[in-house]
A = this chain, B = another copy of it.
């Protein structure tokens, strides 16, 4: 294939991916429900084009799950490929250089909401499968696709589906390609994911807003009350004040700590280019890796109360609300942490305030045993394209579906082609196109290698050993 033709193939792929990215499938916003369906339909149509004889839209009380099965290849292993077509809300909109749903290439990178999380990675797997088909005609393995539309909003459709039809998770391995390299040139596989306990804290101190002239000095202020509760939940030095939270944590193994010590890490560059702040906060006696991978966190995601329009309204606000979450690590259990959060808020709140904690969604943390054959095959694929095996790291983020995908015993491979500066959940999210092109090569090679060697995993899993040692 000459270079011109190859480039034109890439242009076509960028156009296809841009079409997918242009659909504002923001699952958290009811106004975008139809867009979520359009994104699901885009995947359905694409699976048909890939020659899948079975493609279904599986409905539930929310956005549909897209299910696809490649042609049956008897005697060959089965790979379950998971991804999600929904995206995070794009705000703050004014910080995007190009609009979030107008995919734009700048300097070899494709900018759009969902470019890396997760549409771009889903697209990479589809194109890797296509490349395998282009090479051999008949696929060398069984592939099942399961794409959901509620990963970013904590919906229940895929959970209810897998509870009802657990046989869909019967596979020799499940591949979740929603992660990133550890660093440019350093592919990664993930041994643990943090869990999540997401809540809304609402405070009411008055029946109505008051004039701060008339009542300032005696009327309880809902924003002040909420601010004090939030400050009480975490010390200035980063210690979360929720009883039992740290006590439950299973510390990382010595092997993990040793691996993390050897990882290349440019602290100043991390602060400047990734965090984009001036400092790293949190528990200063723990390493950065421990803080983002192996310890729970408490973050305030949003706050609202009183008058936030233009100008100067002198009101004592009657109510205020904050969205918060705890990231959980192995040892923490989401149900227990939710109850402990409620108790801690109740204790921090003054008696005269009406305070509610509404648990919105969550999931337990996850640990993955990476000693099974599928991971060897993945290492081989990475090494053949990038020159190095995947480093074994943890992820600070959460993918609540992961334990469910492993319920039938398949090892769940957590990996991906993102880069750490992709800006997930942030303005100007991007996918490095070089990662996409090499990712297609890596995964098409993985599919071929897994077709030859992946079958052993099922034998392994059928012994009944649990792949997930997380608390769920």
Q: Tell me if A163 is interfacial: C-beta within 8 Å of chain B.
A: no
Looking at the assembled complex, report how far the CB atom of A240 sits from the nearest CB atom of chain B, in whole angstroms.
10
Looking at the assembled complex, report how far the CB atom of A291 sits from the nearest CB atom of chain B, in whole angstroms.
4
A214 touches B424 (CB 8 A): yes
Q: Tell me if A166 is interfacial: C-beta within 8 Å of chain B.
A: no
B301 touches A323 (CB 8 A): no
A234 touches B224 (CB 8 A): yes
A314 touches B301 (CB 8 A): yes
B297 touches A217 (CB 8 A): yes
Q: Tell me if A299 is interfacial: C-beta within 8 Å of chain B.
A: yes
Q: Tell me if A313 is interfacial: C-beta within 8 Å of chain B.
A: yes
B218 touches A291 (CB 8 A): yes
Find A308's partner among B209, B210, B219, B304 (CB 8 Å cutoff). Answer: B304
What is the bound-complex CA distance between A317 and B92, given in angstroms?
10
B309 touches A207 (CB 8 A): no
Chain A 316-360 interface 0/1 with B at a Cβ cutoff of 8 Å (1 = within):
111011110101000000000000000000000011110000001
Chain A 274-312 interface 0/1 with B at a Cβ cutoff of 8 Å (1 = within):
111111111100001001100101011111111111111
Find A309's partner among B29, B194, B424 (CB 8 Å cutoff). Answer: B29
Q: How big is the A interface, by class?
A: 35 or more
Q: Which of A28, A216, A425 has the most CB of B within 10 A?
A: A216
This chain: copies in complex: 2
What is the bound-complex CA distance between A288 and B311, given in angstroms?
29
Q: Tell me if A395 is interfacial: C-beta within 8 Å of chain B.
A: yes
Q: A208-B423, A230-B227, A426-B315 are in contact. Are A308 and B297 (CB under 8 A)?
A: no
Find A210's partner among B196, B219, B302, B425 (CB 8 Å cutoff). Answer: B425
Q: A28-B311, A314-B198, A426-B209 are in contact. Are A216 and B300 (CB under 8 A)?
A: no
Q: A291-B218, A360-B312, A427-B208 are in contact. Are A323 and B299 (CB under 8 A)?
A: no
A327 touches B217 (CB 8 A): yes
Find A236's partner among B205, B221, B228 (CB 8 Å cutoff). Answer: B228
What is the bound-complex CA distance between A281 and B219, given in angstroms?
6
Q: Hey, which chain B residues are within 8 Å of A313, CB to CB?
A: 28, 88-89, 152, 301-302, 323, 425
Q: Tell me if A211 is interfacial: C-beta within 8 Å of chain B.
A: yes
What is the bound-complex CA distance between A113 and B225, given in angstroms?
27
Which residues of chain A from 241 to 292 have any CB-CB distance to chain B below 8 Å in the complex?
Answer: 274-283, 288, 291-292
A320 touches B303 (CB 8 A): yes
Q: Which of A292, A295, A306, A314 has the most CB of B within 10 A?
A: A314
Q: Hey, which chain B residues are within 8 Å of A236, CB to CB?
A: 228
What is the bound-complex CA distance between A205 and B278, given in angstroms?
8
Find A279's partner among B228, B279, B315, B352 (CB 8 Å cutoff). Answer: B352
A300 touches B223 (CB 8 A): yes
Find A352's partner among B224, B231, B278 (CB 8 Å cutoff). Answer: B278
Which residues of chain A from 43 to 79 have any CB-CB distance to chain B below 8 Å in the complex?
Answer: none
A216 touches B292 (CB 8 A): yes
Q: Tell me if A99 is interfacial: C-beta within 8 Å of chain B.
A: no
Which residues of chain A from 436 to 450 have any CB-CB distance to chain B below 8 Å in the complex?
Answer: none
Q: Hey, which chain B residues are within 8 Å of A299, CB to CB?
A: 212, 216, 221, 224, 314, 316
Identity of the chain B residue whose Cβ is nearest the Cβ of A279 in the assembled complex: B352
A217 touches B317 (CB 8 A): no
Q: Hey, which chain B residues are within 8 Å of A19, CB to CB?
A: none
Q: Hey, which chain B residues are within 8 Å of A152, CB to CB?
A: 313
Identity of the chain B residue whose Cβ is nearest the Cβ of A26 in the assembled complex: B311
B396 touches A214 (CB 8 A): yes
Q: Tell me if A136 is interfacial: C-beta within 8 Å of chain B.
A: no
What is the bound-complex CA distance between A234 and B220, given in angstroms?
13
Interface residues of A (CB under 8 A from B): 27-30, 88-89, 91-92, 95, 152-154, 194, 196, 198, 205-221, 223-224, 227-228, 230-231, 234, 236, 238, 274-283, 288, 291-292, 295, 297, 299-318, 320-323, 325, 327, 350-353, 360-361, 395-398, 420, 423-428
What are 15 A-to-B residue pairs whose CB atoms are below 8 Å? A89-B307, A91-B309, A95-B209, A196-B314, A205-B277, A208-B428, A210-B276, A213-B397, A216-B396, A217-B297, A218-B282, A279-B350, A301-B313, A302-B313, A315-B426
